[in-house]
Amino acid sequence: MTTADGSVTIAIPELNVTYHSKHGAIQESMHVFIEAGLRPLLHRQEAIAIFEMGFGTGLNALLTFVEATKHLQKINYHTVEAFPLEKEIVEQLNYCEQLQQPELKPLFDELHTSPWNEAIHLNPWFTIQKNHTSLFNLSTTQPVNLIYYDAFAPAAQPELWTAETFTRLFNMLTAGGILVTYCSKGDVRRAMQAAGFLIEKIPGPPGKREMVRATKK
């Protein structure tokens, strides 16, 4: 389906969810993950380690690649995806065109076709490792500075929004690391606080009043 900013997202009717906001897929990802998450960390250290929950359409990875290259910031990007999209669906995603950067299309294709479970260097600034597994089966000791928490909404996947899950994520972060997510429901914030996060409610993307930035102090 086409969202309000012209970018495409994917709907899963049986779960009553979409991969992105109907108000604008690119707008949402830029606001929640890039502007609220990545940009405050740029050039604080030589390399930023990011973990994304749910590779999905690859939009967050694409936008992060663009930021890394533009700002000459090394980024090591790790993500999990239990159910990769089929090639026919990926071909319908129009993010490079909507960003007015059609030259990124080969890179976007490579994000999806690159091998799973190994680190792939896409340029001197951006390395990605996609893990074909679920969050609960992920085995890693690599600490991260930033988590893009882009799981489906609590109504669709409640197990991903519990205090136990956020404790796992808290333990993945370095001191001072942050987690950003579009979801600001009260029970979600309480689950984050129970895991040890310091919660900050900040303005949300179009269509959402608030989002959450959570910090490991």
Q: Tell me, what's the pLDDT at 44?
A: 94
Cα gap 141→65, rounded to integer Å: 23
Nearest to 56 by CA among 85, 93, 87: 85
Output the pLDDT for position 6.
Answer: 72
Task: State the pLDDT at residue 2.
Answer: 74
pLDDT score of 60: 98
**CA atoms of 118 and 36, how far apart (whole Å):** 28
Q: Which amino acid is at 175?
A: A
Whichever domain contains 205, its CATH number is: 3.40.50.150
pLDDT greater at residue 201 or residue 7 = 201
Whether the per-residue pLDDT at 20 is higher than 80: the answer is: no
Average pLDDT over residues 60-69: 98
Q: Is residue 182 assigned to a domain?
A: yes
Quick check: is 193 in a domain?
A: yes
Q: How far is CA 76 from CA 115, 160, 210, in A?
A: 16, 23, 28
Looking at the 3D structure of the chain, how many domains does it have? Answer: 1
Confidence grade of residue 13 (pLDDT, cut at 50, 70, 90) = low
Asked if residue 31 has pLDDT above 60, the reply is yes
Residue 3: inside a domain:
no
pLDDT at position 140, please? 75
Would strands 126-131 and 74-80 be described as parallel, antiparallel, or unpaired? parallel
In a domain, 5, yes or no: no
Predicted confidence band at 15 (pLDDT cuts at 50, 70, 90)? very low
Going from the C-alpha of 79 to that of each of 111, 127, 208, the distances in angstroms are 11, 11, 25
Instruction: Say how far apart CA 169 and CA 216 lie, in whole Å.
Output: 10
| Higher per-residue pLDDT: 11 or 170 | 170
Spatial CA neighbour of 126 closest among 81, 69, 78, 177: 69
pLDDT of residue 190: 98
Q: What are phi and psi of 172, to 5 degrees?
A: -80, -20
- Asked whether 111 and 23 are in contact (CB, 8 A), the reply is no
Give the residue numbers spanning the domain of 99: 11-215
74-80 and 47-53 strand pairing:
parallel
Structure confidence by residue, pLDDT tens digits, 119-169:
999 999 999 999 999 999 998 778 999 999 999 999 999 999 999 999 999
For residues 83-106, average pLDDT: 95
- Does a structural domain hold residue 2? no
- 214 three-state secondary structure: strand
